Structure 1
Amino acid sequence: MALNFNHTNSKNINDLGNICGIDFSQDAIFLPAMYGIFFIVGTPLNVLALAGLYRLVKTEKVVAVYVMNLLLADLIQLFTLPMWMDYYKNGHYWRYGPGACQFMGYSFYISVYVAIFLRCIIALERHLAIARPWMFQGLSKLKVAGWLTLGVWVLIAVPPSAALNKLFPVHENYTLCIEKYPSEGNFITYKLITLLLSFIVPLTFILVLHIKTLRSLMAVSALPPEEKKRIKDFLTLLVVAFIIVLGPYHFIGCVKYVGLLLHSDACAWEKVVFVPYQLGRGLLSLNSLLDPVLYMFLRNDFRSAVGVYVPCLQWVTWGLSQPRASVAVECSTAD
């Protein structure tokens, strides 16, 4: 049975941007449900992590600067989710005006791409702490970390803001928000470039660092096997989380937009990839749950706080402790 969205004119209005006649009831349940879970669970987790990080920044722990900015990006994304839930629940009917649509779309995607590059920085920081401790000591300054994170925000946020109307066009005559079926040529080119540069390049960078860091870790004779395993598990989780969160959206996105360039019937192809693409979009917000888990691996004090305030997560943090036999690792994470 078709869902009743209580907007008598919404279908006719949306048809202006939905020439293909996509059935928007297909994601009206699973996408709001996913966003609801991420918002309810992810918001307190990220706030709790930020509360612990505030003290660490004052003690000049560089890794805290990077993780804090990562969690801030997650919170920005989380705060957009209620409006997206309303949008998808009501059959892709945006009722807050074109300006709000533009701002919410911009905020959501900026938070995603800032988080991508912050994960690259965290992977590099872990590599230097283990494999290049002399270089790490020279770069482990709050001023350096502050300028580096500021550079990431500026690099990701400023160029799109200068071309906001091109990337997130305002459509006064219909109520779809940042989507059009079928997608047009210039937008397809833009999406393919961003999908490749924001996933393939960072993933390659993180994987290369992962392999090199593990090799260096195995060569550290001072660490017992169980402590090496814990560090290895953290590094592996960083890679796996990157792939799980970003992989589906970027892979399906590339398939979608390459298919639009090659397929003779663009609307038929849009209908085929609609649900998988929307599912990949929903998984982008899974980082709001996984990023605090990464922080649990790094901080003993946060693991203790989680055990007290969120007892159901004790099993996640039990047994995870920061190795103390390596000066290189301790200098970046010790209390």
Structure 2
Amino acid sequence: MTCTNDKLYQSSAFTPRFFVVIYSLLFIIGLPENIVACFYLLYNKANKRLTEVKIYMINLTLADLMFVVFLPVWVDYYNNGRNWRLSDRACGFFGSLFYINTYSTLCFLSLISFSRYLAVSRPLKTAQTKQVVRAVILTAVIWTGTLGASIPILITNSNHTNKRPDSKTSCFENYCSDNESERSRLLIIHSIMALTFAVTFGVVIANYILILRKLLIDKVALSLPQGKLKKRASRMVLMVLVIYSLCFLPYHIIQLPWVVYVLNFTKPGDGTFRKSFNDVHHVTLGLMCINCVLDPIVYCFLTEDFRQYLREWMGYLRNNCVLKRQKSQTIHS
């Protein structure tokens, strides 16, 4: 059985509607949310100091913003019954952005958890300038790595789209091939993606365990002024762990077996099993995308600094409205 029959991609009729709804909601919520988070991180007068964790947060916001801005393209794709109406090269570009966001996000979240561990374990041992330099270097490595891994896809103008028997064109779903080397290449790529997730997830888990261990051993320090900072660091890493478990873990549990299945490395099951397997894969993909609206909540919106920033901003807008109203009344009186 080959992909020309499109049988391995059979799924329930709800999946296009599912993606239209979830991508539309993520765009409506995520766009203003990430813009506000970006302004907060870049222009908050109360905290202008550039720190290691702030550099990671800014880049994480930019990655999420890049993902959210292009969601309408995928809404159109699924709203037309998985029919790609742009060029093959555009399919490769937007598909690449999807994975650039996913794996840069994983790396930045793991680095945020690592920097929080350092804040708890040895807050005074590393000079601030060295922390910033380290963050800049690691950020450059992440963007270079994710963009570099996507270059072969971006410069290739083939195999991004696939004509289906229903005369519609799929985008970035052409996993099937009669070419053994091509199938092996795709399996290697997705294995590397799964390994990237496993490594970064392991880093987050290890950092949280180490932070808890440090706090349990050093209970006296929690009563000191630095104790509040340590508790906040612990909560942030816990929330990062929640994002990994809720958004990324289900997808990466199902993704590699799904790829092995659609590449026809295993004997295909019956039609009911194919639909169920593909439905689960689609749902986990939707769950993974939710991270773009959860990230700003975790590292911005739940902090007291952000709430203070929001109160000041709302007060500024309110005062401006009052002044404009008073000027208007003065002119007309």
TM range (shorter): 0.7 to 0.9
Q: 1:163 to 1:82 in 2, by over 3 A?
A: closer
* 1:50-69 paired onto structure 2 within 5 Å: 50-55=38-43, 58-69=48-59
Q: Letter of the aligned partner of 1:55 in structure 2?
A: Y
CA distance in 2, matches of 1:229, 1:144: 24
Structure 2 counterparts to residues 293-312 of structure 1, below 5 A: 293-296=297-300, 299-306=303-310
* 2:68–2:292 contact (8 Å) kept in structure 1: yes
How has the CA–CA distance of structure 1 residues 55 and 46 changed in structure 2, closer, same or farther, with 3 Å as cutoff? Answer: same
**Map of 2:325 onto structure 1:** none
CA spacing shift, 1:275–1:168, aligned 2, 3 Å: farther
Instruction: Please say which of residues 45-54 and 232-241 is displaced more in the overlay.
Output: 232-241
Query: SS of the counterpart of 2:170?
Result: coil
Structure-to-structure mapping, 1:108-257, within 5 angstroms: 108-137=98-127, 140-164=130-154, 169-171=159-161, 175-180=169-174, 182=176, 185-186=183-184, 188-218=186-216, 219-224=218-223, 227=228, 230-257=232-259
**AA paired with 1:81?**
L
Unaligned stretches of 5+ residues in structure 2: 315-333
Quote the Cα distance in structure 2 between the aligned partners of 1:99 and 1:138. Answer: 44
Write the deviation string for residues 260-280 of structure 1: whole angstroms up to 9, x where unpaired. 566312684543311111111
Q: Is 1:282–2:293 an aligned residue pair?
A: no
Shift of 1:120: 1.1
* Deviation per residue, 1:82-119 (Å, 9 max, x gap): 11111112111011121211110011110110010011
Checking the alignment, whether the CA contact within 8 Å between 2:247 and 2:289 is kept in structure 1 is: yes
1:265 aligns with 2:268: yes
Partner of residue 80, structure 2? 90
Alpha carbons 1:35, 1:81 under 8 Å: kept: yes
- Cα separation, 2, equivalents of 1:168 and 1:62: 40
Deviation at 1:75, TM superposition (A): 0.6
Q: Separation in 1 of the partners of 2:137 and 2:153?
A: 25
Deviation at 1:154, TM superposition (A): 0.2
Equivalent position amino acid for 2:31 in 1: T
Q: Identity over the aligned pairs, expressed in percent?
A: 28
Quickly say closer, same or farther: Cα 1:241–1:152, change in 2 above 3 A.
Answer: same
CA drift at 1:33: 0.7
Q: TM-score, normalised by structure 2?
A: 0.78
Q: How far apart are 1:142 and its partner, in Å?
A: 2.9
2:64 corresponds to = 74
Measured in 1, the distance between the counterparts of 2:156 and 2:57 equals 32
| C-alpha RMSD of matched pairs (Å) | 3.1
Can you list the C-alpha shifts for 1:161-196, whole angstroms capped at 9, x where unaligned?
135467983347561101036577325513541342
Work out whether residues 92 and 172 of structure 2, in 8 Å CA contact, stay in contact via their aligned partners in 1.
Answer: yes
Does the Cα contact within 8 Å between 2:51 and 2:128 map onto a contact in 1? no
Cα offset, 1:252, TM superposition: 1.3
Distance in structure 2 (CA, Å) of the matches to 1:159 and 1:119: 19
TM-aligned CA deviation for residue 34 of structure 1: 0.8
CA deviation profile, 1:243-293 (whole Å, cap 9, x unmatched) = 111011111113323445663126845433111111111112211111111
Secondary structure at the residue paired with 1:108?
A: helix
Residue of 28, 31, 41 corresponding to 2:16: 28
Deviation at 1:207, TM superposition (A): 0.6
